[in-house]
């Protein structure tokens, strides 16, 4: 079970990693979503990151996801706490004998078995809806603190070892709980939320280092993509005037060029 100190560290790390991605990052403890409480991070008006730092009873997590979707569409980040006990639980201790004794997991390698996890309902739901699962990995003797993404494939039980002439042999089937990760990505500590995933930030600017006037220009730059073409042209002309005294290599100039190039 994830304790309060661990939950707080997960929240602090993610907020700090996202703080330069949009003008406003708002951590929210026990946020009520669709009548249920969940920890999350509001990423401006663009999206939300749900922190899955505990197990949810019954159908609660699905309902929270639906509630978040009604407000933010598909831009919902989901980050599980990777402690190996609550989530990302190794299946090897309980299932390795099914490989070593030539039973229903005999087709999997030793490496596969070490990569195999027993999902909780929250993880299984997410695997069914998205390509990658993302986890907050706490610091340990072996592992560095950070966000890690995994791509999973379902485990298939192979019953070919059973002789049909001797006893009933079930049809081979995919497991509802067991998955093997096939790809892994480690992320930097500078992140942004894009299309429902935390990704390494492409931004060129540290918001905390800006003056109030520079921050106002930054906000105007990030309103450009949402403007109709006529208003955008006028806004760009106004921005060029506001930036004319800035050095050519100023972060605001680089950010303006980056946003215009989208």
Task: Give 212-228 pLDDT, tens digit per residue.
Answer: 898 889 888 878 877 78
Residue 40 has pLDDT above 90, yes or no: yes
**pLDDT tens string 72-97:** 999 999 999 999 999 999 999 999 99
Percent of the chain at pLDDT above 90? 67
**Under 8 Å between Cβ of 57 and 37:** no
- Residue 184, SS3? strand
Average confidence score pLDDT of the chain: 90
CA distance 225 to 241: 19
For residue 46, what pLDDT band results from cuts at 50, 70 and 90?
confident
Domain boundaries, the chain: 4-200, 207-260
**Under 8 Å between Cβ of 80 and 123:** yes
pLDDT at 103: 94
For residue 203, what pLDDT band results from cuts at 50, 70 and 90?
low
Name residues whose C-beta falls within 8 Å of residue 167's C-beta, 6 or more positions apart in sequence. Answer: none
Q: What's the chain's Rg over C-alpha atoms?
A: 23
What is the number of alpha carbons within 13 Å of residue 249 lying toward its C-beta?
0
pTM: 0.77
The pLDDT of 173-192, averaged and rounded, is: 92
Strands 47-52 and 133-137: unpaired
CA distance 236 to 247: 18
pLDDT at 221: 86
What is the number of alpha carbons within 13 Å of residue 160 lying toward its C-beta?
6
The pLDDT of 205-214, averaged and rounded, is: 78
């Amino acid at each position: 079970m994830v304790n309060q100190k661990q939950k707080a560290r997960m929240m602090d790390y993610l907020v700090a990693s996202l703080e330069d991605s949009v003008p406003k990052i708002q951590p929210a403890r026990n946020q009520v979503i669709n009548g249920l409480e969940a920890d999350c991070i509001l990423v401006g008006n663009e999206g939300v990151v749900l922190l899955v730092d505990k197990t949810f009873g019954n159908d609660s997590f699905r309902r929270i996801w639906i509630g978040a979707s009604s407000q933010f569409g598909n831009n919902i980040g989901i980050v599980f706490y990777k402690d190996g006990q609550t989530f990302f639980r190794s299946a090897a201790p309980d299932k390795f004998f099914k490989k070593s004794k030539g039973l229903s997991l005999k087709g999997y390698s030793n490496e596969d078995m070490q990569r195999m996890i027993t999902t909780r309902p929250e993880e299984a739901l997410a695997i069914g809806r998205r390509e990658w699962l993302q986890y907050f990995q706490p610091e340990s003797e072996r592992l560095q603190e950070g966000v890690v993404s995994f791509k999973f494939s379902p485990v298939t039980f192979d019953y070919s070892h059973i002789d049909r002439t001797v006893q009933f042999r079930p049809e081979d089937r995919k497991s509802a709980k067991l998955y093997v990760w096939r790809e892994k990505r480690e992320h930097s500590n500078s992140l942004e939320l894009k299309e429902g995933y935390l990704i390494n930030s492409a931004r060129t600017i540290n918001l905390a280092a800006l003056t109030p006037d520079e921050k106002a220009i930054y906000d105007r730059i990030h309103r450009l993509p949402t403007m109709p073409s006529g208003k955008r042209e006028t806004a760009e002309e106004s921005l060029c005037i506001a930036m004319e005294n800035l050095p050519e290599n100023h972060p605001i100039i680089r950010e303006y060029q980056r946003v215009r190039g989208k």
